[in-house]
């Protein structure tokens, strides 16, 4: 084994052991980025029809862990059916419920594919008639992720939203290329504590209908 590869794998093992002990976003989740040079390039795709993703937050109408079921791919939309929220689309697999007012963010997502670690995309969304703008930035990295469902290689997509040059909201997604779906979603607002629940969820299990 060549020395650089051996050193990288040794670092990865030590980092996993450390992260397991230290915890991450949540006590059961952590993400270890790897250098972009070692990361793959991944094309767009939606999960197989009938795949059931179960998350560690209860659906408001069942009080059981919320499930998302993959229904179909409609061009650049991944359509799912959620116990809590019914049927809706994730544009490019990364943006939920985007509509005609989100043209700039849709183009940003489209331009991110194929996913490459180290990519940073930016867009401006204008709020008419006030003419104020929201600045959006997506940053992509790749690494080793742990969620309650297990260990996955995943892309970390950090979405930052700015208004008047001030960060007001962040959402982090961990997107698994093997599942072609998000294994963690983590919204945050500056200065506020963030914990599992509501829109903050992690993957519990994967099954089929």
Question: What mean pLDDT is predicted for residues 157-165?
Answer: 94
DSSP, collapsed to helix, strand or coil, labels residue 106 as helix
* Statement: residue 197 has pLDDT above 90: no
The closest alpha carbon to 182, from 27, 87, 46, belongs to 46
* Statement: residue 129 has pLDDT above 80: no
Take residue 99 and report the two structure tokens written for it: 């509509």
Question: What mean pLDDT is predicted for residues 176-196?
Answer: 93
In this prediction the pTM is: 0.87
Distance CA 174, CA 185 (A): 7
* Statement: residue 28 has pLDDT above 80: no
For 85-113, the pLDDT digits (tens) are 999 999 999 999 999 989 999 999 999 99
Q: What structural domains does the chain harbor?
A: 31-208 (2.40.360)
Q: Which residue has the higher pLDDT, 208 or 9?
A: 208
Percentage of the chain lying above the pLDDT 70 cut: 83
80-94, 166-180, 182-196, range with the lowest pLDDT: 182-196
Instruction: Tell me which H or E stretch contains 101.
Output: none
Percentage of the chain lying above the pLDDT 90 cut: 74
* Statement: residue 1 has pLDDT above 80: no
* Statement: residue 201 has pLDDT above 90: yes
Torsion of CA 24, 26, 29, 35, to 10 degrees: -30
Average predicted confidence (pLDDT) for the chain: 88
pLDDT at 25: 61
The closest alpha carbon to 141, from 34, 37, 46, 41, belongs to 34
């Amino acid at each position: 084994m060549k020395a650089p590869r051996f050193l990288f794998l040794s670092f990865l093992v030590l980092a996993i052991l450390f992260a397991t002990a230290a915890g991450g976003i949540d006590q059961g989740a952590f993400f270890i980025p790897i250098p972009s040079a070692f990361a793959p390039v991944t094309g767009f795709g939606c999960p197989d029809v009938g795949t059931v993703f179960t998350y560690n937050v209860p659906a408001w109408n069942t009080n059981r862990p919320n499930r998302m079921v993959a229904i179909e791919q409609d061009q650049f939309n991944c359509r799912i059916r959620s116990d809590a929220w019914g049927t809706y689309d994730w544009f490019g697999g990364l943006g939920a419920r985007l509509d005609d007012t989100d043209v700039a963010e849709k183009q940003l997502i489209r331009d991110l594919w194929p996913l490459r670690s180290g990519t940073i995309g930016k867009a401006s969304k204008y709020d008419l008639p006030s003419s104020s703008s929201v600045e959006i930035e997506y940053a992509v990295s790749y690494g080793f992720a742990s969620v309650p469902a297990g260990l996955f290689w995943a892309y970390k997509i950090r979405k930052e939203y700015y208004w008047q040059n001030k960060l007001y909201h962040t959402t982090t997604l961990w997107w698994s290329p093997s599942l072609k779906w998000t294994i963690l979603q983590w919204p945050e607002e500056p200065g506020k504590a963030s914990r599992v629940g509501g829109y903050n969820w992690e993957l519990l299990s994967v099954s089929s209908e």
